[in-house]
Amino acid sequence: MRSLIVILSVLFLAPLFIKGAQIRVGTGEAYKSIQLAINAAQPYDTIHINKGLYKEGNIQITKPLTIIGKGWPEIDGEKKYEVFTIKANDVIIRGLKVQHSGYATLDDPGGIKVLESQNVVIENNWLFDNFFGVYLQYSKNCIVRGNRIQAYGKQEQEIGNGIHCWKSDSLIIENNFIKGHRDGIYFEFVHYSSIHTNHAVSNIRYGLHFMFSNNDVYTENKFQGNGAGVAVMYSRSVDMYKNIFYENWGDAAYGLLLKEISDGHISGNQFTRNTVGVFMEGTNRMKVEKNKFDYNGWAMKIQASCMENEIKQNNFLANTFDVSTNGTTVLNTFLHNYWDKYSGYDLNKDGIGDVPYRPLTMFGVLVEKVPAAMLLFRSFMVLLLDQSEKIFPTLTPDHFIDPKPSMKYV
Amino acid sequence: MIQIEHVYKQFGKMEVLHDIKLTLGKGQAIALIGPNGCGKTTLLKSILRMVIPTKGNIFFEGNDIASTGDHYREKIGYMPQIGRYPDNMKIGQVIETIQSLRSNVLKLDEDLIDNYHLKQLYHKRMSTLSGGTRQKVSAVLSFLFNPTVLILDEPTAGLDPIAAEILKEKILSARQEGKLILITSHLLAELDELISEVIFMQDGSVKFHKSVEVLKDQVGHQSLSKAISHFLKEGAA
Amino acid sequence: MNKILQLILIDIFRNRVVIAYTILLALACWSIFFLEDSGNKALVTMLNLELLVIPLISILFSTIYIYNSSEFIELLLSQPIKRSQIWISLFFGLVICLLAAYIVAIIPPLLLFGYIQNALWILLGGILITVIFISIGFLISIQQRDKAKGIGTSLLVWLFFALLFDGLVLFILFQFGDYPIEKPMVLVSMLSPIDLLRIMNLMQLDASAMMGYTGAIFQQYFGSTLGTLVTLFVLVLWALIPFLISLRIFKRKDL
């Protein structure tokens, strides 16, 4: 009986005391090669990699391991190999500088690729000049956190995404800094995942890109100077809170591009200095609330294919055009927004303007039809046209109005 | 002193001066006469380059005025038919302004200012002046800088008899100083004592250019004015 | 300093219109800066005002002033003074006075509100547009002997550049909207100094506004250093050519 208790207590308490073996790799250590150390390790061992340059081709991780770098060891793919390939659950990678992966468009080599795995944590690494930074495929419950991911792509075809997730589930992507990739973060068929406080800068295509991904949420990220800030396409129930879309600027640049999506919630975001703050096409039943749009060329472009969207309590400040559309039908609702261009009055002092606001200007309609008309922006004639249109609407749709504009910043 | 060679001037289709050839010598007082619209004023203005001839050359002291530059006019005093002056300027300001523009002239001829008692009117605005007083200002300005040539377009028109007499005396003394004087006037009688040569113009052409003596001999009239009116009538007929 | 210029300056500075113009501009500036909450917005509003009011005053004032000084010009012409000197002095007299009025009116509010750095382009624009429309005024007044007709022509020219030209541009845009007309439109905009200045200033002040689909071409052209230089050059031509033509006419004019 006593021996049984001893056996049982060893069985239950052992994981608390025994963490697995500690293996060291580096000059003057037992192992010089990471791959050899991995091969020799038992599951749940920890491998410490010392400072140094390691060129080992492709390194395969096929058992649960913790790999920790000390003094940023450089693991180099020599522009030929995928650096790490992980096909095991419970792997943790931390503190490595993973660099110069191979580049090819066929097998998508990456700095760290995770295949069909669960509970993998990729944390505080420096992924430098890789084709793809971190690549997850058929994976679940993984965390990508605090990595610095940087590449020097110049054209879309020549570079992969910073964090690429495909057919995965329940991921957490947070606190990463991603620069110079094709898309900063790319989601395709990824569900129930969240993206927090990342910073995507100067990526060639999008800062963040959703395709066919449902029930995801992203919050407090900053997207700056990307081809376009964020694109959400063919997806459902994606929520977007408190993100900053800044300076996404150029010929076809958007802060946020929504295409064929529905049932999401866009709230508390800030859209500043974008060519187009939010571009909506085939977008239905979205709630756009309490966002701030300032200094954009167009705060929102809502194509005629959009229905039943609610645009409420947003602030529109110093935008060239507040809203523009290509059609005449009005199937979306504007309510209680603050428009800095509103020149109405509030006689009963309830904070609600007594006359409706028309966010669509005549000139906005003209520019939508002939973009080169932008040449006349702020000319005296355009001023006259807009004023006369305000009094006698002819070109702009009658019901394209905010019937109860807020008098004050919301 | 002034030589005019084959000068033509057209205003649009209208020919105002037709092949004018003249030599105007020093010390002469020349009357330029002719019916209204014969081109007298245009000819005078051409000499001043206020009108630019369509064709032909005008020489001042041997230099072509088209190329010699505007400074030749320093030697010309011009009294226009109708003097136009900035309305809001006072007489004193006008005279001072012109004086300040020509500060290189050392010795000013202020006889007329004194004789016309103009200094008492210096504070008057040009817009308030009568035609006669304006003419006085014009006369003063034309003589002020001691020019060697005087071009006077209807100088006595509008002047009262006393003022006209003062001006005539001034012209006479100028002639005695050896200046060239070009003068147009409709008041033929007053030219009698003044002039030494007559140029008769009609329809933009010079009909003749003769000295007074020759002219009187030809016509047989004792008085110049009668001689001239003789020609005017003949010309008109 | 040139004596004639000095006389003209004294005469214009005493003119009540110039004083009224200064006060009006200053009042407009102060009220814009007090009323608009954001600095850039205030500058943009000022730009609009500037492009409307300055051309009108410059062209009208210079035209009327020249007609009114015809006697003075004639008086000077009977004196041994070069014709070109008279005409150039008149031009500089007007330019100096109206620019002085403009600068005196708008510098204090700009300094006080601390916009002076952003406003350099606006200042440059105001200076150029003043000179350009004085120059056009000279051309009109030398071509029209009749004062009333001359003033009428000035008003029409102003109306044309302030409003009708843009209407024409809009018409062309909609007629040829299906063709790639953006590049030709850049050239067309060169035909109106007001448009040219407006676009140039917006590129500096409010670039986001110009970044539409067509932004690329405009930005490529108007935003580049070369484009800015070419634009400035064209504006200088606008300031010089009408005046030089008028000078040529004046030199040969019969009085």
Residues 6+ apart with CB under 8 A from B121: B91, B129, B133
B111-115, B149-153, C12-16: which has the minimum mean pLDDT? C12-16
Q: Is B232's pLDDT higher than 80?
A: no
The pLDDT score that the predictor gives to residue A375 is: 82
The tens digit of pLDDT for each residue in A139-164 reads 999 999 999 999 987 777 788 999 99
The pLDDT score that the predictor gives to residue A310 is: 94
Does C167 touch chain A if contact means CB atoms closer than 8 Å?
Answer: yes
Mean pLDDT of C207-228: 66
Mean pLDDT of chain A: 90
Contact present, C235 and C201 (Cβ < 8 Å): no
* Contact (CB<8Å) C75/B86: yes
Strands ordered across the beta sheet of A59-61: A59-61, A84-86, A110-115, A132-137, A163-169, A185-191, A206-211, A228-233, A254-259, A276-281, A298-302, A321-324
The pLDDT score that the predictor gives to residue A71 is: 92
Domain boundaries, chain A: 18-204, 216-410
Domain at A18-204, CATH from 3.40.640.10, 3.30.70.920, 2.160.20.10, 3.20.20.80: 2.160.20.10
The tens digit of pLDDT for each residue in B154-213 reads 888 888 999 999 999 999 999 889 999 999 887 777 777 788 888 988 888 998 888 888
User: Phi, psi (5° rounding) for residue A222?
Assistant: -125, 125
The pLDDT score that the predictor gives to residue A279 is: 94
* Contact (CB<8Å) C198/A384: no
Q: Is C143's pLDDT higher than 50?
A: yes
Considering Cα of C217, then C218, then C223, then C228, what sign does the dihedral take? positive
The tens digit of pLDDT for each residue in C116-142 reads 777 888 889 999 999 999 999 999 999
Domain boundaries, chain C: 3-252
Does C83 touch chain B if contact means CB atoms closer than 8 Å?
Answer: yes
pLDDT band at C211 (very low <50, low <70, confident <90, very high): low
Q: How far apart are CA C10 and CA B41, in angstroms?
A: 33
Q: Report chain B residues whose CB lies below 8 A from the CB of C83.
A: 70
Token couple for C184: 């030709």
**Tokens 């012209």 -> residue:** B171
Residues 6+ apart with CB under 8 A from C61: C17, C18, C21, C94, C98, C137
Q: Is B124's pLDDT higher than 60?
A: yes
* Contact (CB<8Å) B50/C255: yes
- Please give the ipTM for the structure prediction: 0.82
Mean pLDDT of B44-52: 90
Mean pLDDT of C75-80: 83
The residues that bridge with A92 in the sheet, in sequence order, are A66, A121
pLDDT band at B225 (very low <50, low <70, confident <90, very high): confident
Mean pLDDT of A293-322: 91
Q: How far apart are CA A290 and CA A314, in angstroms?
A: 4
- DSSP-derived 3-state class of residue A77: coil
Split into its structural domains, chain B has a count of 1
Contact present, B85 and B134 (Cβ < 8 Å): yes
Q: Report chain C residues whose CB lies below 8 A from the CB of B87.
A: 71
Higher pLDDT, C93 or C114: C93
Element of type H or E holding A42? none
Instruction: Provide the chain C residues 50-79 that lie in CB contact (below 8 A) with chain B.
Output: 69-72, 74-79
Mean pLDDT of C68-75: 84
Higher pLDDT, A35 or C78: A35
The pLDDT score that the predictor gives to residue A91 is: 95
Nearest CA in chain B to C249: B52
Considering Cα of C90, then C93, then C96, then C102, what sign does the dihedral take? negative
Does C195 touch chain A if contact means CB atoms closer than 8 Å?
Answer: yes
User: Cα angle vertex B77, ends B76, B79, to 5°?
Assistant: 135
Contact present, A380 and C198 (Cβ < 8 Å): no
The pLDDT score that the predictor gives to residue B233 is: 73
The pLDDT score that the predictor gives to residue B30 is: 92
Does B12 touch chain C if contact means CB atoms closer than 8 Å?
Answer: no
The pLDDT score that the predictor gives to residue A9 is: 64
* Contact (CB<8Å) C210/A252: no
Q: Is B226's pLDDT higher than 90?
A: no
The tens digit of pLDDT for each residue in A345-360 reads 899 889 999 999 988 8
The pLDDT score that the predictor gives to residue C149 is: 96
The pLDDT score that the predictor gives to residue C212 is: 52
**Ramachandran quadrant class, A259 (left: phi over 0; alpha: psi -120 to 50; beta: rest):** beta
Contact present, A173 and A194 (Cβ < 8 Å): yes
The pLDDT score that the predictor gives to residue C248 is: 95
Candidates C49, C20, C8, C17; CA nearest to C32 is: C49
Interface probe with A: pick from C47, C165, C182, C211, most Cβ of A within 10 Å: C211
pLDDT band at B237 (very low <50, low <70, confident <90, very high): very low
Mean pLDDT of C90-95: 95
Q: Report chain C residues whose CB lies below 8 A from the CB of A376.
A: 166, 169-170, 195
Q: How far apart are CA A154 and CA A169, in angstroms?
A: 31
The tens digit of pLDDT for each residue in A65-107 reads 999 999 999 999 999 899 999 999 999 999 999 999 988 767 8
pLDDT band at B215 (very low <50, low <70, confident <90, very high): confident
Mean pLDDT of B81-106: 83
> Model pTM greater than 0.80?
no
* Contact (CB<8Å) C185/A372: yes
The pLDDT score that the predictor gives to residue A68 is: 95
Mean pLDDT of chain B: 86
User: Percentage of chain A with pLDDT > 90?
Assistant: 64
The CATH code for residues A216-410 is 2.160.20
* Contact (CB<8Å) C80/B85: no
Q: How far apart are CA A325 and CA A302, in angstroms?
A: 5
Chain A neighbours (≥3 Cβ pairs under 8 A) are C
At C154, the amino acid letter reads: S
User: Percentage of chain C with pLDDT > 90?
Assistant: 46
Specify which of A165-174, C9-18, C206-215 reaches the highest per-range mean pLDDT: A165-174
The pLDDT score that the predictor gives to residue A6 is: 66
The residues that bridge with A46 in the sheet, in sequence order, are A22, A66
Mean pLDDT of A329-347: 89
The tens digit of pLDDT for each residue in A9-18 reads 655 655 555 5
Q: How far apart are CA A39 and CA A33, in angstroms?
A: 10
Q: Report chain C residues whose CB lies below 8 A from the CB of B72.
A: 80
Element of type H or E holding A218? strand A217-219
Q: How far apart are CA A182 and CA C138, in angstroms?
A: 59
Q: How far apart are CA C126 and CA C55, in angstroms?
A: 9
- Any contact of B with C, at least 3 CB pairs below 8 A? yes
Interface probe with C: pick from A376, A384, A387, A409, most Cβ of C within 10 Å: A376
Instruction: Provide the chain B residues 119-148 that lie in CB contact (below 8 A) with chain C.
Output: 141
Q: How far apart are CA C136 and CA C143, in angstroms?
A: 11
Range of the domain at B17: 2-236
Mean pLDDT of A178-202: 95
Contact present, A156 and A137 (Cβ < 8 Å): no
On the question of a common fold for A18-204 and A216-410, the answer reads: yes
The pLDDT score that the predictor gives to residue C132 is: 97
Cβ burial A196-223 (10 Å sphere, 16+ → b, else e): bbbbbbbbbbbbbbbbebbbbbbbebbb
The pLDDT score that the predictor gives to residue C177 is: 78
Calculate how close chain C gets to B52, using CA atoms only, in Å.
6
The pLDDT score that the predictor gives to residue C183 is: 80
